[in-house]
């Protein structure tokens, strides 16, 4: 199957001058002469944990496997350069052949890779009697701009998010647009003091940022931007839209901090066409608080991977 897949990809993928050696050799060779940094991230998703193959178009699954890695690069303020993709394919997929499944997964990745000028440089395939698993490793660069990290926040900084939160299970966890352009601007223009993406839930991911910056946060709960999907989901779960926005996870929006002056400008103008909302303030101490320190303490909630 692998030779057929390689041949298909060779006829499908658009060439890139940065890729000096690509599919067909034992390893890829990237031209990195104009770079002095390398940002690397990897994520693995699998059937029955992150999606249900029997229910979802494989193209959406393939797209998600790439998008979540681009979101990690965005959280570092890096531009995407290239990815390698490893597929562990079921021998008897629910629809079609193993080769058809692999081809459809790549069909989901390719438009997103082209959108962000990201090379699909190679990877590996194997098959077994278990469920589908996809591992993508992404390479990026920050160039002369400093990388965004979780540890740079300061007391008095405001806490901000891009977009809207909650209800991703209704479909946005497959179809979201990674905030690569937004993260890149935050880095290039030195706008953020700390940043990460929201993959496991606002409260849980915020607790990780606070730990790295050794600070506490006071959240303005009414200000948190909840999505229409969160409201729709609340109709059936018994939770409020806000509860979904706080803990659903897989929103893949940017969570970042900035000075009050910078935050006011970003809220007014947005970033690269994306809305920005201020949702709280960072202070000395520890924990996540509603309204004020010593008020209601919010426990980190979200999706914990096994």
Q: Is 124 known as a binding-site position?
A: yes
Ordered DSSP codes for 251-290: ---EEEEE-HHHHHHHHHH-BTTB-EEEEEEEESSSSEEE
Closest to 193 measured CA to CA, from 293, 263, 288, 292: 263
CA angle 120, 122, 124 (to 5 degrees): 130
Q: Which residues contact 216 (CB under 8 A, 6 or more apart)?
A: 210, 282, 283, 284, 285, 286, 287, 288, 289, 293
Q: Is 197 known as a binding-site position?
A: yes
Q: Which residues contact 7 (CB under 8 A, 6 or more apart)?
A: none
Q: Is 123 known as a binding-site position?
A: yes
Q: Is 150 known as a binding-site position?
A: yes
Q: Is 25 known as a binding-site position?
A: no
Q: Is 26 known as a binding-site position?
A: yes
In contact, 57 and 114? CB cutoff 8 Å:
no
Q: Which residues of 176-213 are buried (b: 16+ CB within 10 A; e: fewer)?
A: bbbbbbbbbbbbeeebbbbbbbbbbbbbbbbbebbeeb
Q: Is 157 known as a binding-site position?
A: no
Q: Is 172 known as a binding-site position?
A: no
Q: Is 199 known as a binding-site position?
A: yes
In contact, 58 and 90? CB cutoff 8 Å:
no
Instruction: Report the binding-site residues.
Output: 26, 41-43, 50, 72, 106, 123-124, 150, 197, 199-200, 250, 303
Residue numbers in the known binding site for ATP are: 106, 123-124, 150, 199
Annotated binding site for substrate: 50, 250, 303
Residues of each annotated binding site for Mg(2+): 26, 41-43, 72, 124, 197, 200
């Amino acid at each position: 199957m692998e030779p057929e897949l390689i041949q298909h990809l060779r006829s499908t993928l658009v060439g890139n001058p940065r890729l000096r050696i690509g599919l067909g050799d034992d390893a890829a060779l990237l031209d990195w002469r104009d770079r002095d940094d390398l940002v690397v991230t990897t994520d693995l998703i699998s059937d029955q944990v992150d999606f249900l193959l029997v229910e979802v178009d494989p193209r959406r699954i393939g797209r998600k496997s790439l998008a979540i890695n681009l979101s990690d690069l965005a959280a570092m303020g890096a531009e995407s350069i290239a990815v390698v993709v490893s597929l562990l394919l079921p021998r008897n997929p629910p629809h079609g052949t193993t080769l058809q499944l692999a081809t459809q997964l790549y069909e989901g990745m390719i438009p997103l890779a082209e959108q962000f000028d990201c090379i699909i440089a190679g990877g590996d395939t194997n098959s077994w009697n278990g469920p589908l698993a996809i591992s993508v490793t992404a390479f990026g660069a920050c160039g002369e701009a400093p990388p965004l990290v979780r540890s740079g926040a300061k007391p008095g900084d405001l806490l901000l998010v891009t977009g809207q939160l909650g209800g991703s299970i209704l479909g946005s966890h497959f179809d979201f647009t990674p905030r690569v352009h937004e993260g890149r601007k935050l880095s290039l223009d030195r706008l953020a003091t700390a940043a990460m993406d929201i993959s496991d839930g606002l409260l849980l991911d915020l607790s990780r940022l606070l730990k790295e910056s050794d600070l506490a946060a006071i959240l303005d709960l009414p200000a948190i931007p909840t999505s229409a999907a969160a409201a729709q989901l609340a109709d059936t779960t018994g939770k409020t839209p806000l509860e979904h926005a706080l803990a659903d996870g897989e929103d893949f929006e940017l969570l970042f901090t900035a000075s009050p002056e910078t935050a006011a400008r970003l809220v007014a103008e947005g970033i690269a066409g994306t809305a920005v909302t201020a949702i709280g303030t960072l202070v000395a101490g520890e924990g996540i608080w509603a309204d004020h320190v010593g008020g209601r303490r919010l426990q980190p909630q979200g999706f914990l991977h096994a």
